[in-house]
Amino acid sequence: VDSGAREGDRPQSATDGAPAGDDDRQRGDEPHAGADGPGLNDPLDRLRPGTNVVVTGPSMVGKVSLCYRLLAPAADAGRAIYVVATSEPADRARERYADYVSGWPDDLAVVDCMTRQAGLDGAADGDDRTWYVSSPGDLTGVGMAVSKAMAATPAERRSESRLLFDSVSTLLLYSDVETVYRFLHAATGRVQDVDGYGLFVLHSDALDEQTEATVTQLFDAVLEVREGDETGAEYRLSASGTDSEDWHRFTSGGVDGGAEP
Amino acid sequence: VNRLVDRLAAEGRTLVVRDGAELDGKVRRFCEAHNVGVRPDESLSTDECRIDAGGETVASGSVSTLSAYVGRDPETVGTDGSTPQLVEAFVGGGSAVESWSVERMVRLSREIERRAWTTGDGRLRSGFQMLSAFAGDTQTRNRYVKIVDAGVDVAVYGVPDTDPPDGPYRVVTDDDGTLADYWFVLYDGGGRDGATAALVTEEVEDGRFGGYWTTTPSLVDDLFELAREDHPDLFDQ
């Protein structure tokens, strides 16, 4: 595929009439104004390229949808976007992406660790934007797939690209923490090498402190997500060597404005 | 519920090698993580191995290739190479849960609950042994409210050792204690094959659980069917 030609076809900015932008501008006018819409406040902006962020918080507060939303500014700038989906198929990842990012969900590079494990058929041989791994326990396979996904994008799009890893928690169901640590060390190194940004989701429920500490020490920044009041969840970014930001509210929901996680 | 455990056990895969004691730790852990047992066969050479499932050989290869693959240093993994057919054959069926702690069980249960919440459709059936384990845990109840709000049909099960909590979920009281020893979470995926998941375990000793979990859609369908057959009073819908 000629990615240069593809790039010419993509909307040049989030304001090209994409429904996601319209919807969220409306939401910003609601009484809980002050919540961040997509693209309005990109917390990764203040981080240097090559930074890896661990996104922590309890299950079901909207960490993953926040992450998908944080892919949007880079996607709109024409940077490559990679998603490693450990527990959902590539098409589901593309659906979520389409909820938050204008442009083509097809353009998303996905490493799918789910389809083969569940014994699902279909196009499991992969294509030039989808790489299949036998299971989330096959970390050699995940590592190869991430390398291949990155190698398949032109160098100029790899710089300041964003990689979403959803999630580290799933890896910990299959492999011991030392094995996961070594894998993450390499994976974050790859993000560094391309001057990208890594977002690694870690559900903090029932995670013992030592495991959490072992995993989080690999990262340059922590994006904490917590339950807010009834208007939605809140996030806070702490980068090493700087003070924590204040908590920011964000609304969950995709283009339909529903409570889609 | 034992039939559900047996159903998953029947899916077991086995790595057949000349001498299992010779396997290195990484291969051993890889087997454990994928619920692949190890069985000796003296007719094999020291480097030969195969994966058997249901009495048939599904893949064969060499121990050294397998060991080199799973033991590869992640720092040097690049774009070269492919996954050996033998490794692909490790997946499918269920993964074993062997004497897991409550903490580890909670983490796995969350994984399944997150799938339900994210999908926002389908049926989630969760056994808490004692109803107080659910009723007395505000965070868990709040999470289950979220799952219902997302559009999932939710039922929770437990021996009625406390008043059933009010909520949008259905509470099924297990008056006879039929399910008292079992920690299970079944999610049918709401028609999305990639979303199904099930965990079926028994408390094998105090606070320790054994059984299986799976994400294979046909297996999860079977588990729902078996649950309905064996406990029509509890799993009638």
**What is the b/e burial string over B122-160, where b = at least 16 CB atoms within 10 angstroms of the residue's CB?**
bbbbbbbbbbbbbbeeeebbebbebbbebbbbbbbbbbb
Asked whether residue A110 carries a pLDDT value surpassing 90, the answer given is yes
Question: What ipTM goes with this model?
Answer: 0.92
CB of B24 within 8 Å of any CB in chain A?
A: no
Q: How far is residue A164's CA from residue A71's CA, in Å, rounded to a whole number?
A: 8
Chain B environment of A140 (Cβ under 8 Å): 69-70, 72, 74, 77, 83
Place of tokens 């917590």: A226
A144 vs B217: CB contact, 8 Å cut-off? Answer: no
CB of B97 within 8 Å of any CB in chain A?
A: no
Chain B environment of A139 (Cβ under 8 Å): 74
Chain B environment of A58 (Cβ under 8 Å): 139
Closest chain B C-alpha to A84 CA, distance in angstroms? 15
Q: Quick one: closest CA in A to B143, which residue? A: A60
pLDDT tier, A258 (very low <50, low <70, confident <90, very high otherwise): very low
Q: At what angle do helices A63-76 and A90-100 cross, to 10 degrees?
A: 70
The predicted-structure confidence for A122-162, as pLDDT tens digits, reads as follows 555 678 899 999 999 999 999 999 999 999 999 999 999 99
Given this model, what pLDDT does residue A124 score? 58
In degrees and rounded to multiples of 5, residue B6 shows phi and psi of: -65, -40
- Name the DSSP letter for residue A244: P
Q: What are the residue ranges in chain B where pLDDT is below 50?
A: none
Q: How far is residue A130's CA from residue A212's CA, in Å, rounded to a whole number?
A: 30
With vertex at residue B87, the alpha carbon angle to CA B12 and CA B30, rounded to the nearest 5 degrees, is: 70
Chain A environment of B108 (Cβ under 8 Å): 173
And the tokens for A22? Answer: 């319209």
CB of B150 within 8 Å of any CB in chain A?
A: yes
Place of tokens 């809980």: A32
Given this model, what pLDDT does residue B118 score? 94
Given this model, what pLDDT does residue A28 score? 33
Q: How far is residue B226's CA from residue B51's CA, in Å, rounded to a whole number?
A: 28
CB pairs under 8 A between A and B: 137
Q: Within 10 A of A205 (CB to CB), how many other CB atoms are there?
A: 20
Given this model, what pLDDT does residue A179 score? 95
The predicted-structure confidence for A75-100, as pLDDT tens digits, reads as follows 989 999 999 999 999 999 999 999 88
Q: Please, are residues B194 and A115 in contact by the beta-carbon 8 Å criterion?
A: yes
Q: Which of B144, B88, B73 is nearest to A132 (CA)?
A: B88
Q: Which amino acid is at B208?
A: R
The predicted-structure confidence for B180-222, as pLDDT tens digits, reads as follows 999 999 999 999 878 999 999 999 999 999 988 888 888 899 9
The predicted-structure confidence for A175-227, as pLDDT tens digits, reads as follows 999 999 999 999 999 999 999 999 999 999 889 999 999 999 999 999 999 98
The predicted-structure confidence for A26-77, as pLDDT tens digits, reads as follows 333 333 333 444 444 788 988 999 999 999 999 999 999 999 999 999 998 9
CB of A153 within 8 Å of any CB in chain B?
A: no
Given this model, what pLDDT does residue A217 score? 95
% of chain B surpassing 90 pLDDT: 69
